[in-house]
Structure 1
């Protein structure tokens, strides 16, 4: 943390200031009260400022000169008003008063013993004959001595006492000058908000008087304050107000001082080349003037600028020049700042021992001289040294001290650096959560400040517009009132006068219209300019979003696309035997569908940064999932000469409850990166279950990473270095998406790596639900030993697909329920009116009247029994929507026995018993259910060609609504009968029609026909038979 040190204008030489006080206090209050009009006061103040800039360094001489001049001025001014006798009397009185007070102040100034000096001040203040002005004089002189001794707290206390007296006697200029001094004191204490408040109070007075140089001084000081508060725009505005005033009314030194301060602002705004050029110009001027104090400030800030510009030698040279000067002069306050700067310089270039030395010296000096900003900065630099040395507890302690000090004087820039370093220290100490929270706090604070700045700018713009409008209205009102008064006054004049006034009125109206038109034109120009600026900002933001979007798409589709291309090339080149082609067709089809899913769901990925992406967990077979992953990457690995293997370290086929799409996306990114960065060797995936957690390790023998690269690998758009990016390509977004998805899934991901030895990514996913499937017989036995249920009640099933209706009715009847089945919402309403029903299962998309409209009519008619939505769309946001419109809940297709029973238990009476043995009755019932369900499945397969024909007919007629409805109907039925591929293709075609993505319609329709044509494939029949075996067993139990 480096501090650029600039001093407020008019506070460089303390002795000069004390002398100025004497002159001002002895002359101004007496002369202004008795002898001066307003013009005299302005001339006199100008004279006093000139006198103040010409004082020498010898305090005693200055005081004597001041008092002598004050007596002379009193004689000169009073001679115009009094007689010679009264003139002599007044002159003697003034000389006596001046000599007495001057002698006392001279004696106090020469006193080296601080305690004795304070006693002399106390003696002066104890005099009952003192006037209020004299008391103020003494308090201010006492405060300035404390300021010269770096006792800022005492200086503030004394000036506050003087201000209270000045406010009582209504000495407004005294109050303004005291407020300015208080601003200087608070500035040197690092209390920038208080300093700005006092400067603004003082500015209120000088803005109403003709004191241009004083006003410019305050503008300059406010610029310094806001520069230290990192409000650079406000700071620059104040500097730009001060500079033209100095050029017109000030001295060349004033102009150089403000240019020096602006150069310091450029350093903080990171405009180092401009800052260095300005500093060198100021340096040449101060060398000509032999201003050693000002030259030391220039050396200090030049060192800071060269440091940020990367020139260590020049930075060190100028910093040490400033350090040597302040050490020689014994100026501990500025020496503390310089120690802080040197510590920051050496830390920047890795010279930690030098940094430690100057940081510790800076802490001691800053504590002695109450220099809070230098103290906070030195603590920060010492924390950086101890962190580099591996002393994490010490680093945290120093950072805590720096943070407390930065919060006291609101140094947001230092607070951000402290929080960022704290994150690193916490991470190095193994406290990763605290480190993450610290870094997150920095990001949130920056976002908050950016929002506040934008809101402030918008408010400022609206305020200006409102003020302009109010000003126009006030001007118009005044003109109208003026015209009315003139009309009343001129009513009795002659006709000639009336004609003249009429002409003048017309001219005024024309002029006013011209001004109004000009103002409107300017307003329009400003408005157009603002609109163009906003349009430019929006275009830049759109370009950034486009680049990020393209990076995401490229990374996410590359791997499955490579599988599609490889299989397509093999098929086109006829490299495959006849028996191998179906398998490759399936790989082609599977990966194409995956690509289509990504394209359709890209808008979900954009929600990651906005924290709006929701997961859709489902029961997922791990064996099937990792088999697909093996098929996707095996050929790609073989093409590179790599070994790709998936080790499943569990005996049974296991299904877990997770979002397969997002989980698969994580695995694809990890495997794709592993293969990409591995030139020889292997990529191994180990899958195991441990303590209700799924553990996946992706290990490779690739190029590897060092610790620094590994710590940044999950960052956005991050790769190890530019050479790797050029060699292997990629946007660096993949692992960032992996980390975000892991966070959404409440999973943990970590990496261990070494250069040349490869990397190991470890993914740990919590398991909320796990089902083991060792064999069909085991499942059957397990189910027959589960709890059997028999419910009582009457249930209505509204479903448009006849096979679905029959299958659902069979499920519910085997659970002991009376089932009434209808094919649309209108019949459902009629059935509810005619029967006493206990529960309703209603499909959402049906002909005549859909489920949404039917529910609305039911609720309006007073039907309060449970109504469940029966749908394949069971996303979390869909379920929330169903609840919001009045559904009791949602039953997902295909039916899950346990979920169905849990739902029925909430609303219907039931009996339960444990079925232990496979009794003949149970076996017979199971066989009967199996036969019934297989008949239904056969009927569904036989009717698929009718559904496809309906879809094709609607496509030919371009009846997209009917086509979407047929697709939804087929998708739900396919899910119920276990044909997931057919259901997926139907669902994708339905979404394509809903979202009007007609360019995908033809490909999806062809895929649907192909899936329907494969319904007779023996392999497909085997898979469906396995599905029905499990469903039969589940539905048989009552």
Structure 2
């Protein structure tokens, strides 16, 4: 040893201590010693001197070697310790070695002391390193176990296909306790879903043959309760004297796979949606260009000088029909966009159910007869209710359903049944038309789906009526269901929750007005719209005033306080209809103001009503509709 060696000597005789030091110096080139002869001195020296080895006399007056050995083992367990004695029998020697001495030397053989201490030092170094290795191993094992136990993955160790260790996450995954899975008779294949067994068995058999596959493998597991879970396993192998140990790290990928499947489904749906939207746009293009072509074409023909009256009437009818078709297309697109962008608002009103259904009955009875169909409507005393819901949206829903029935029924009948069931309004629209195949019924309410069916190719229209109807029904808290059979017709049922109020049987006398005495003011900046409304109303009203902006309307109202009705356009230059209405209401609270606008959005309508309009009507304005609005307020 080249480093300085510190040796503590417990000896009561100075001569013996000097002899021991002399022998030790023969063995060690660089040595430092300290001699003590009491227990207290020994303890202090162990702490302060910090020796590498202890040489202790077996017997001293106030102290002895076995006590020194005991103290050393307690305080410095890896110190080399050699007993030095004048004489020693075999029993004493055994006693010392059992107590933990590394060696003993008889004083008459003092020359052995140096080699004995050197050997003891070497032995203690080996013991210290072994102890450190064991401690490091224990620490490593503790860290490994901690990592395993706290892992988010299930981990197990197998020996000859038997589980010898498993962590908590594995217990949670498969719902088996550790005590259950480490039983000798527990079959690990119990954890595998039958469909995945062949691939797992093949992999384990290859490992037993020395063919190791370390790549990840996906399979399905089976829990104790019978639940199937998606798993991913990563295997590693350790050859030991006991046999081949397989470590398996198992991760639950059920949620990941569900997300993956959802992503694939979403991708497929998006691709399908793109196709349907493309088909929808093509259909919309057709539905816009076709009537527009008819309008422009027949307008050009009407300008011919040598055309008889019968042809002019025919062409005018064609222009009217094409215009209505174009208007319906634009209306459908606007309504769908409002539903898609959540721009619709709920406006509750009190509705006389009997009158409401009767209005629909009168309108569609005429249209059914024109097509040669029988009209069947249930108008009974059961409708003697007021209902509270959004009148406009309910009207739209039923218009779409009834128009749909008319459109796809070429013979037979169409009909409508209505009743109040508790707090639900139930309306059925029936037809004997072409019907809807069973495999298409789940899709008829979906956005854009109608655009790619044979019906939308064989029949004019956007094919969005049912989509819009269902969207409006959902806004009102209701639902539309379908029963249909191909070639046998369809039944669409609207169920709408709403407050109801029974009507009394008292009939109110309605005072009717002579329209000739009614004075009307039309306010519109568009020359064409102004002219149209003047012509439209001239047969019914004798006195019609016109204004082209809000300023003119206010001046006319101030100069003519006897104006009964104002048809107020909302969008105008200089002063819009909103501002004009507000100004008029500041000096005239009685005049009826009906807003008219092409912007039939809820926020526009609400704003107009809030600022003083009594009602609204959307452009294009029909003669029948505007007269209904006017008569409603005059009566």
Q: Same fold (TM over 0.5)?
A: no
Shorter-chain TM-score: what band?
0.3 to 0.5
Q: What TM-score do the two structures reach when normalised by structure 2? A: 0.43
User: Comparing both chains, which one has the higher relative contact order based on Cα–Cα distances under 8 Å and sequence gaps of 6 or more?
Assistant: 2
The TM-score normalised by the length of structure 1 is 0.29
Larger Rg over CA atoms? 2
